[in-house]
């Protein structure tokens, strides 16, 4: 019988993924790690039973968290990634020639080691790029102690359970703001608001308090079931959020990016929110 891996992240429902093959199952540091091959999604990585990344739809999530802030900023040289152990975010960020240095802070070295071995189709050599600096540390502690100034900071975290919990706190977001250079932008993954409304509401309440320009944008990522996923946006500069579509199109062409989801028009449209998501963003 075909084995099913059930994701039970959301009380009241479970998402089941058929495993054509279980490629690995075990403990990685403090997290349970499972890799399967699924007919629709290809290789799928689960941490503590929660979907992290799949070969088939990672492009949506990674393109939307990497290209939006970088192209909106317009001159991003230094980029911080917190989490992102599979390497897919680093790969997308490193496509930008303007980026001189990417600092990726991952708490679990074994996720990186495992992904290098089994998810090469996602990281595509990013781990060997000399512009990538890998730091193995708790992202919350790094943000509290780091000196450098970043043009773009991307929080590519697990959900707010276990080690990821610290990456959803006011203290962490405040530290991230301090790490931004003038004109810098922070983006965060904030789950699927239909199923995890509190996650977005709480983050946006903090963003409204600490950033001059808080915002939220969205994209639907099929393996993160439940509809649109929400991404947080925080900056003290207005220009990146208000950059005209023509400017984005010029930067996109200049960067020579080949994308499967991102377009300058999708970029602008992603900030148009359905009423129930807008209400969560403005609540509190």
Just list the catalytic residues. Answer: 156
Closest residue (Cβ) to ligand SAM? 85
Q: Which stretch binds ligand SAM (CB under 6 A): 67-75, 157-165, 202-210, 240-248?
A: 157-165
Pick the binder of ligand SAM from 7, 156, 175, 228 (CB under 6 A).
156
- Only one of the segments 17-25, 33-41, 153-161, 210-218 lies at the binding site for ligand SAM (rule: CB under 6 A); that segment is 153-161
Selected binder of ligand SAM within 85, 160, 214, 234 (CB under 6 A): 85
Which stretch, 91-99, 102-110, 173-181, 212-220, contacts ligand SAM (CB under 6 A)? 102-110
Distance CA 5, CA 17 (A): 5
Task: Give whichever of 61 and 207 is closer to ligand SAM, judged by the CB atom.
Answer: 61
Residues from 121 through 150 that contact ligand SAM (CB under 6 A)? 138-140
Put the strands of the sheet holding 228-235 in their side by side order.
Answer: 132-136, 101-106, 78-83, 150-156, 180-189, 228-235, 213-220
Interaction of residue 158 with ligand SAM, rule CB under 6 A: yes
For position 193 contacting ligand SAM by CB under 6 A, the verdict is no
Q: How far is CA 133 from CA 105, 106, 126, 145, 202, in A?
A: 9, 11, 11, 17, 31
Rounded Cα gap, residues 192 and 231, in angstroms = 9
| Contact with ligand SAM (CB under 6 A) among 164, 184, 214, 264 | 164
Told to check if 108 binds ligand SAM by CB under 6 A, we report yes
Choose between 248 and 270: whose C-beta lies nearer to ligand SAM: 270
How far apart CA 119 and CA 154 sit, in angstroms, is: 21
Strand 180-189 relative to strand 213-220: parallel, antiparallel, unpaired? unpaired
- Alpha helices by DSSP H, listed for the chain, are 58-73, 88-93, 109-118, 120-123, 139-145, 170-179, 197-210, 239-242, 245-255, 264-269, 275-282
Q: Does residue 80 bind ligand SAM (CB under 6 A)?
A: no
- Of 100-108, 121-129, 209-217, 270-278, the segment contacting ligand SAM by CB under 6 A is 100-108
Q: How far apart are CA 192 and CA 226, in angstroms?
A: 6
- Buried b / exposed e over 171-180, threshold 16 CB at 10 Å, is ebbebbbebb
> Under the criterion CB under 6 A, does residue 230 sit at the interface with ligand SAM?
no
Kindly list the residues in this chain that would bind ligand SAM in the complex (CB under 6 A).
Answer: 47, 52-53, 61, 82-86, 105-108, 111, 138-140, 156-158, 163-164, 166-167, 189
């Amino acid at each position: 019988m075909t084995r099913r891996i059930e994701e039970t992240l959301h009380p009241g429902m479970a998402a089941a993924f058929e495993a054509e093959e279980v490629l690995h199952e075990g403990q990685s540091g403090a997290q349970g790690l499972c890799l399967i091959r699924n007919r629709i999604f290809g290789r799928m990585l689960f941490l503590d039973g929660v979907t992290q990344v799949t070969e088939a739809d990672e492009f949506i999530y990674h393109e939307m968290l990497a290209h939006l802030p970088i192209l909106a900023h317009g001159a991003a040289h230094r980029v911080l990634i917190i989490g992102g152990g599979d390497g897919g975010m680093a790969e997308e960020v490193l496509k930008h020639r303007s980026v001189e240095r990417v600092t990726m802070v991952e708490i679990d070295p074994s996720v990186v080691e495992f992904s290098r071995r089994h998810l090469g189709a996602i990281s595509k050599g990013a781990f060997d790029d000399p512009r990538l600096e890998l730091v193995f540390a708790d992202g919350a502690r790094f943000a509290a102690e780091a000196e450098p100034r970043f043009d773009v900071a991307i929080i590519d975290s697990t959900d707010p359970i276990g080690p990821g919990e610290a990456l959803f706190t006011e203290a962490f977001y405040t530290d991230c703001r301090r790490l931004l250079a003038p004109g810098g932008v922070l983006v965060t993954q904030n789950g699927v608001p239909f199923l995890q409304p509190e996650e977005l509401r709480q983050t946006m309440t903090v963003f409204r308090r600490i950033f001059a320009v808080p915002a939220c944008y969205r994209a639907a990522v099929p393996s993160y079931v439940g509809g649109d996923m929400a991404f947080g946006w925080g900056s003290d500069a207005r220009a990146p959020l208000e950059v005209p579509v023509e400017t984005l199109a010029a930067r996109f062409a200049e960067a020579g990016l080949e994308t499967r989801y991102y377009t300058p028009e999708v970029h602008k449209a992603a900030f148009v929110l359905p009423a129930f998501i807008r209400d969560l963003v403005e609540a509190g």
